[in-house]
Structures are given as structure tokens and as C-alpha cells.
Structure 1
Amino acid sequence: MRQSMTGFASLQGSGAGFDWTWELRGVNGKGLDLRLRVPDWIEGLEAAVRTRAGKAIGRGNVQISLKLQAGEEAQTVAVDPVQLRGMLNAMAEVETEAMAMGVTLAPSRAGDILGLRGVLASGAADVDHKALLAALMASFDAALEAFREMRIAEGDKLNEILTRQVDEIETLTAQASDAARSRAGAQAERMKAQLARVMDNTDGVDEARIAQELALIAVKADITEEIDRLGAHVTAARDLMQTKGPIGRKLDFLMQEFNREANTLCSKSGDAALTQVGLALKTVIDQMREQVQNVE
């Protein structure tokens, strides 16, 4: 097992006249769901991000966002001619009216006019989209690697938890086998009583039906197959956890098989001690299944 589906990474960068921040957030999901928030005016950016993320991430709901702004060196300042003419006309009208009323105004300076709202317009210089795209993708690769490393670290923690839980299931399975052997005497007496009830009601009953009933009694009492399958599932779980790549779906299916055997064992137990072991098994299996939901 290599990765959890939960993770986070944030990386700041700058280049080609821009400053930016990449953020990647991941939670569990049934498949791979990439949700991107990147500027659409940078041609090829979204497709490149989606392709590279898809190769590095096998499963999970992942949000990728890019906050991008022009750096100071990329900012340009220019006079808005329309706003300037409008402002000068307004000033001339004010001065004319003031003179008519005998009011003397101080001379206007260029700096005063430039400071008026709207006269100066700021914007970004011409952008080299190819250079910007290359810089952004190089930065994204680093952010993606940091995201993977966090998912791997979380996966290592999950692996430790799941390993302990598999060991506990193996121990409880052995206890169930011991409890089944311990109940053998009482179970034999119970089967004799059940057999006697069948034999007491055999008048006019087909022999094949009697054999069927006897076989059913024996099957209901025997948990050998359940014990064997639980042991096989333990081995399969350990093998899966040593496999590279996404294994979450396979582990989740295996948890269903674990649960099925534990349920059957409880239904067949007919013994308080064995029932307690079966319930303990179900508890550990449920806890393990909760953890498996986060495995990629």
C-alpha cells in the first residue's frame, strides 16, 4: 500500500512577471475526481494540469487551485485619455464659474490631476504565455510531488493501523477455532437431541428428506469453512497491503467478505463464548473498514 486519499500541499512561486500559489487538497472518493480552478486565459494550462495529476493520483476527490497575480515588474501605468479630458473639462468649468463669482483658485498642478481617480490606469504588460505556462507547470510539478509525499506519509500511518487490525482478526479467528473445539461435546449432545426429534417424526416421511434434514443440522453446526475463509482473507489482506498502487477498492471488497464470514459464524455459534468472539470480530472488521475508506 502506498497512498492515502487525504492530503494537502501549498506552494508559492514567481516567474514570467507573475506571482502565484498552487493548492492541492484531497479527500476520499470512489474514483478519481479532479476539480480544477485555474485561469482560463492561459492556453493549455488546465489540460496539462489534469494530465499530470491524473498520472500521479489514482483515486480520490482532489481540488487543485491556482491563485495568480501580476508581479510589480509586470505592472504598467498609463494615463486614461478619456478620463483626463473629462477631468480637465470639469476643472475648466469650475474655474470659469469661480472667476465669474470673483473667487480666486490656486493654480492646478499636474501631480494633483494625476492623483484624481480614474486618470491613471494600471494594467499588465504583454504576457509571454509560453514562458508563463512553463514556469507554472514546473511549479505545479513540485506542488504535486509534495502532495504525493503527504499522501504516502498518511498511507504509511494507515498501513500500521490496518496491519494491527489484520493481526487482531487473525488472533480472534484462532480464538473462534479454539472455542469451536471447546463446544464440541455440548454441540454433539445438541445434535443428538435434534436428531432424536427428527427420528421421532419419521413416520411416512421419505428417507431422502430425513437425510436432507440430518445434513442441514450438521451444516448449521459446522463453522470449519468460515474459520478457513477468515484465515484466507487474512492472508489476502496482507498480500494486498504489500502491493504497489491503488488497492482501496480491493480492500473494501475484502472487508465485505470478512464481514460475511463473521456474520455466518455468529449465526452458527450456538455457544456464548463463540458468539462473543464473533461479535469481537465484527467490531474489528467494522473499524478496519472505516480505515480502508481512506486508502487509495
Structure 2
Amino acid sequence: MIRSMTAFAAVERATSGGTLTGELRAVNHRFLELGTRLPEELRALEPALRERVSARVSRGKLDFTLRLRAPEGEGALQINPALVAQLSELALDLHARFPALRTEFTDLLQFPGVVQSKAVDQAILQAEALALVDAVVEQFVVAREREGQKLVAAILERVDAISARAADVRELLPIIRAGQRQKLEARLAELSQPADPGRLEQELVLWLQKLDVDEELDRLDSHVKEIRRVLKQAEPVGRRLDFLLQEFNREANTLGSKSVDTRTTNLAVELKVLIDQIREQVQNIE
């Protein structure tokens, strides 16, 4: 299924260590680039997190953030009485030496180890965190697929328009060729010396061959069939679509360069506009 490279997913769960929130966001990128922001308690999970993401995502610039908020309520935070007693004795001793010395309560709480969080089993917390990572990635992939279907619809709409423009060119070609033949014959009729009919026919055939775009139209039809086929594939196809658009553009440029009629020239311009619009959509496909 086609996936967009632009997506966002967030999951929040209560865990043994507090409330854990995971967020994954992405924008388009040529390759897979993953940045992570993890709390210190879960820093060791980074390799496993990267492995889980790369198993489901192949392209895009991703940012994965995990936040752990300490549990609230009774017993969530505890004072280390032994350390507080040591600090009290030290403060009394220093106060005897420096009577002007004052110890603020808030400063005491900020001393390392005075305030302690409730003991948490790290193995359980890490398992809960990885389960949340899996949930975030799954939600993220679903969001990418949902956006991908919108991109497919937009692309197919323009592919249909390209097919219609190519059909218009095919219908015009016999009329344009007949018109060019009449123009050439009219100019030759104005010459004072009559031209050799055999040589005239030969030159006319060579001239019309230079204006022939049947091969370009056939290749354009082939590219249209290929892009429809590619859009039905399950694996990432962004790079394949990039290549196809180069081929589309090449045929449109050739049609424009060979055109001798404003109608086909305008149709070639419309083709290039449609191709550029498809390219804008393809830039977001994984």
C-alpha cells in the first residue's frame, strides 16, 4: 500500500514508572533518518527503538520522542531521612562557625538524593516502554497509509488527464499533417519552375517524418500503464515513481520540440504542468 512520508502519531499510557508519552512525526527525505529524544531512565532502549522503527519505515526524516512523567499521589516522592539528618548536622556545625549562614528549604530539596522517586523495576518499565513504541509505530504507519491513499487519488486524477491530452494529440496529428502538406504544396505552386513530383513526394515524406511523434505517444501510454501498476504495489515505490516522471517529462519535451501547431504546443505545455503536479505529490511518497 502506498504510504505518505509525512505523518504524526502519539500514544500515552500509564506505566509502573509514571505516565509515558510517545510521539513520532516525519517529513519527506531521500533516505531514512531517525532522531530520538529519550528520558534518562530509558536511554538504553534507543537501539531497540531504532530497530522497531526501521523494520516498518524505509524513508523519511523522523523524530521519535519519549517523555516520562513521574506518578502523582501519595508515595510518589519520598525524602531520604538519613541524608537529611547528615545535612542537618552539617548545617548546624557550619552555622556555629558562620552565624550568618542560612539554609533555605528549597535549596535543601534540590540537593542530590534528598528527594527520591518511588523505586521502579527497570525491566518492567522498559518492557512497557517498548510496548508503547510498538503502538506508536503502528499508529504512525496507519496514518502514513491513510495519507498515501489521498496521494494516490491525486496522482491518478492527473494520470487520467495525461492520457486525455495524449489522445487529443493523436486525434490532431492527421489533421496537422494534412495541413502541413497543403501549405508545402501551396508554396511550391508559387515557384516559377515546376518541381519534380517524385522528388517533391520524397522531400515531403522526410519532412513529415521529422514531425512524427507516434513513438513518443506510444511511450507516454506505456508510462501511464506503468505508473498505474506501480501505484498498486505493496512495497515502497517513491524512487521508482521519481524515475518514471523523468521519462514522462522527456516525452513531453520531445512533443513540444517537434510541434508545428499551436494546438499540440499547448497540449505539450499542459502535459508538463500535469507532470510537475504529479512530481509534487510523489515527493511525499515513501
Q: Same fold (TM over 0.5)?
A: yes
3-state SS in 1 of match to 2:26: strand
CA distance in 1, matches of 2:17, 2:187: 87
CA distance in 1, matches of 2:247, 2:136: 38
Q: 1:216 to 1:184 in 2, by over 3 A?
A: closer
Alignment of 1:117-156 (within 5 A): 117-118=107-108, 121-156=114-149
Letter in 2 for 1:9: A
2:77 is the counterpart of 1:75: yes
CA distance in 2, matches of 1:82, 1:192: 112
Letter in 1 for 2:55: K
Q: Which residue number corresponds to residue 159 of structure 2?
A: 166
What TM-score do the two structures reach when normalised by structure 2?
Answer: 0.82
Q: Which residue number corresponds to residue 187 of structure 1?
A: 180
2:116 is the counterpart of 1:85: no
Q: 1:290 to 1:216 in 2, by over 3 A?
A: farther
Q: Is the 8 A contact 1:35 1:63 kept in 2?
A: yes
Q: 1:76 to 1:292 in 2, by over 3 A?
A: same
- What is the Cα deviation at residue 218 of structure 1? 4.4
Q: 1:53 to 1:116 in 2, by over 3 A?
A: closer
- What is the Cα deviation at residue 189 of structure 1? 4.5
Q: Is the 8 A contact 1:195 1:214 kept in 2?
A: no
CA distance in 2, matches of 1:56, 1:94: 63
More moved, 74-83 vs 173-182: 74-83
Selected match of 1:238 from 216, 223, 228: 228
Structure 1 segments of 4+ aligned residues over 4 angstroms from their partners: 90-95, 113-116, 189-196, 213-216
Give the fraction of aligned pairs with identical amino acids, expressed as a percent.
Answer: 38
Letter in 2 for 1:88: L
Across the aligned residues of Structure 1 and Structure 2, the Cα RMSD in angstroms comes to 2.9
Larger Rg: 1
CA distance in 2, matches of 1:40, 1:193: 86
3-state SS in 2 of match to 1:158: helix
Letter in 1 for 2:13: G
Alignment of 1:53-68 (within 5 A): 53-68=53-68
Q: 1:221 to 1:21 in 2, by over 3 A?
A: same
Q: Which residue number corresponds to residue 30 of structure 1?
A: 30
CA distance in 2, matches of 1:20, 1:10: 11
Letter in 2 for 1:84: S
Number of residue equivalences: 266
Q: Is the 8 A contact 2:177 2:208 kept in 1?
A: no
For structure 1, the residue ranges without an aligned partner over 5 or more in a row are 98-112, 201-210
- Residue deviations 1:122-171 (CA, integer Å, cap 9, x gap): 12344422111100011111111111111111111111111101100110
For structure 2, the residue ranges without an aligned partner over 5 or more in a row are 194-201
